[in-house]
Structures are given as C-alpha cells and as structure tokens.
Structure 1
Amino acid sequence: MKKASKLLSLGIAFILLFALSACGKSDSKALSTKEITVGVTGGPHQQIMEQVAKLAKKDGLTIKLKVFNDYNTPNTALDQGELDANSYQTLPFLKGQIKDKNYKITDVFKTVAFPMGVYSKKIKSLNELKKGDSIAVPNDPANELRALQLFEAAGVIKLKEGVTQNATKKDVVENKLNLDIKELNAESLPAQLNEVTAAAINTNFAMGADLTINKDAIFHEKIKDNPYPNYFVVRTENKNDKVVKQIKKYYYSDTIKKYIAKEFGGSVVPAW
C-alpha cells in the first residue's frame, strides 16, 4: 500500500509538473518584442519593410528579413515556425492558401496595394490585339482570377458569372479573338513578354524588370482604393501580440507613407 501510495504521489507530481510546463510553453509562444523575423518577397515589400525595421530599431526592436522569390514558400515557412510573420500577399491569395493547406495563419493589418498592370513589347493598346494573339496570366489561385478580371475589364474576354478565386482560363465564356491564354508562373511573366502579345503582371515582379504602372502598363487596375491590398500576416495564435501592434504603428507612420510615395511613384500605394 505504501508503495502504491508513493507511486500515486509521484504520478500526481509528474502531472502537475507537466501542466506547469505546458502553461509556461503556452506563454512562450508570444512573439518577442526584441527580435522578430519577417518574410517578404524581393522588391517593394522588402524595401518598405527595411524602412520599417529602421524605425523599429530606434525603439530596440530588431526586424530581421528573409527574402523569398515566390508566393508559396513564405506561408509554409510561417506556418511551420521558420518565420514570425510575413508581408507580401493579398487576402484572396491568403484565404486560398489557408483553405487548401490548412495553415493556422491570419491577416492582422493592411500594408500596401500593387495595382496589377498589363504590359507588352508588341502593342501599345489592348485594342490592337488580333485574332490568335497570345496573352499571359499568373497561374496561381487568386492572382489568375485577378488577371483574368483585368482583361475582362478591358473588354478582351468575358468570364462566367460567379467565378471564384480558383478560376482559370476554363472559366472564360467569351473570347471573340480566340486569344491563346497562357497560364505561367507569376515571377516568370516579365521574361515572357517577348513570347506573348501581352501579359498581366503583378507589380512587384514588373518593377523587378524595370516596368512601372504609370510609364509602361498599357492597361491597369485603379490605383486609388485598389481592391487588392496586401496584408501583414502572422500565425493565428500571435494575432494579438504586442509586437504586431508595434510594427503596425511603424508601418502606418508618416515616414513610411512619404517613403512609398517618393520611391514608387504610384506603382505601390498605401492601403490604409
């Protein structure tokens, strides 16, 4: 009996120790207010966050940046704990990734908008498109829909009603010029401009190829009140962390707003 009692006591002590350890582990999940790692895509998102990091540094917060050249890896890295946050994506894209991959991540505040544009090395206007010409769009969910809607707004094609973020060229119900719609990786589109008649390109990749909305696009989304703002994203468990509010304060400062206006000349605009 004494032996059984002793074992029971040890068992209870072990359970209590585990419970306390678990509580400590839960508390430790809050993001540090001293150092944080943020994933960004190369280009404007990286440049803007570098300026945010300078403001944060003055207050003792180090923001380390990890730069990616694709849209998928930053969310995987965030969900798996390799990043503390990321800043590079629109809400439709984020929601699509969460649904498809069951990520436990969420948006916390708007950052900037990148009006998508149509670019060409062969024509000056989409009115110059001829039968059988080729047009290119990003092949990832959300961005493909956005690109197709942009060509629809220009009167080039027509999509079926009620299309979702998983729309593809199969959802085009009217294509009077019998255009060859090519679905390509978003980052490769600038390099494909010699191969197609026109392409809808995300602004960060366009700028990487020295293409700008105001000077080079032959058609583009509206710049003011753009419907596709980007977001700062964290793991869901961290959405109310103190450091998230700190970074939002820096991002929404007049210093960053002025930097965006001066550096990008309308191709990137504040979404707040």
Structure 2
Amino acid sequence: MNSAQPPFRFLVAESETPEARKARRDSVGRSSGETYLDILRRLAPGATCDSIQPADADAALPPGTGLTGYDAVFLTGSPLHLYEETPETRRTVDFMRAVFAAGTPAFGSCAGLQVATVAAGGSVRPNARSPEAGFARQITPTEAGRTHPLLAGRPASYDAPAIHTDEVEALPPGAKLLAGNRVTAVQAAEIRFEGGVFWGVQYHPEIGLDEVAGALRRQSSTLVEAGLARGDEDAEAFAKQIDALHREPGRRDLAWRLGLDEQVTDERLRLAEMRNFIEALSRLGREGLLAVGK
C-alpha cells in the first residue's frame, strides 16, 4: 500500500443467509465474509474492516457510518440465486444499487459479480453448460482484460478456485467483459452504474484449497446430479486430494494429478485480483479508480 495513503476503511458485504454462514463455519471454520476480512487485513495492514450481511432483514451499517465513508466495498460469494425474487435477493440487490449510487468502488467474487450485474441491469441464470466445481480452467482475458489493471500479472490462460451453479447471462449496458472460458463466458468484468464502479470475477481468488475442498463436500449432491461425480464417495476422494495439497502445497505429484500450477497453489499469485484492486485504489485514490477506463 502507498505509504502516503491513509489507512483504508473497507466494508465486507456478506450475502450468505444465516443458515449458509453456519454451514460454511461448520465445514471450514469461517463464513465467506470472515475469509474476506482475513485476506483484506493481510493485503492492507492497518485497514479498518467492517462487515454487513445485506440479505438479512436486520442488516445495518455500524453506527455513525455511511457507504460514502468507505474507500471500498467487497462482495463475497453466496448461495443466493439472483434470478429468484425473494426478500433476501431484493435486499442484496438494493444494497448494491446503494453502493453504486454512493460512488464507492466495489470488488466482488462469484455471487458478488452476479449481484453487481443484476443491480446494474444485467441478468443471471443457472449455468447453461455445467457447474464449475473446484476450479475454473483455462480462463482467458479478453482484449480489454489484457490491459485492465484488475488482471495485471495474470498469464494468457490460468486456472482459479471456483464453484458455482449460476452465471452471468448478460452483462449490463456499458460493462466490459474482461475474461471468460469455455464453460462460463463471463469470468471477469468491470461494471459502471450511476456514478459507481465494480470490478469482479466469477471465480474465488480469496479462497484457499481447504475452502475448495469444503465447498465440494457441502455441494456433493450437486456434483452427482450434474454428472461430475458418480456418488458422494467420488466427491470426497477429490476433496481429500485437494485437502492434501493444501497441507503440503509443495507436493508436485498432487498438483500434477489435479492439473494445478502456481496460479492456484501460490497464495500470492492466487490473490492477484484482490491485490490489484487494492493497489489501484491506493495508487489512484477513490476518484481516480472511478475514472479508470472512462
């Protein structure tokens, strides 16, 4: 972080329902928001990090704060289906519209990208081809993505942790498609709406291999239904290999067997998009980030 930049004030928006938060804590020891908070505190030492659960009926910002008082908002993954009209999805989309209107830059992964898409007028659907379970393979930046600061340092093709059953169907008007692969057309995008800007990815740079394994276990029935596993035991065998690589990230045999390279196994490289967003915010400031690419 630029030494001239005062400590950041970040807000993590965790749109998991209370039931999903509990299931994730029972599985891997932390909710999606708690994972984000841990990563942000390491990427931006000294930052003040607050959290909110916008899907909850009693969601509220900390007393005395407002969205304009934050340097950035981070949207986590979530099992919400944004094409369903429910109180939880309405509250979450309304929250994101308020973030856009406040002019506060935002970053999000997985459902975070989907929330920003719907809030700005795009659409989301169930995956048209197949769920991406464990890892998104051969993500390729578009021409715009190759020069966009969000993907700085990423190679011409890379893998990333991913597990999702929904995808962006159509980006909002004026959005920039930054990356895709053969399974999911929208893997990274920039969205501008009502004076605000959002950088996001469909995959999960923030999660480690232990969390990938936990997600596979929680969603094993979905893998079986999609034909990606013949039974829960297949999903468990895959999760065990990923867990083993998490414990010993230097094991080339496991990385080879799983088809993974340092873009996933090296945390510094895996976190590229989050680090790039924070570095752009530090270098350019809030107003400068809003102006990038205009």
Fold match (TM-score > 0.5):
no
Q: TM-score, normalised by structure 1?
A: 0.31
Q: Which has the larger radius of gyration?
A: 1
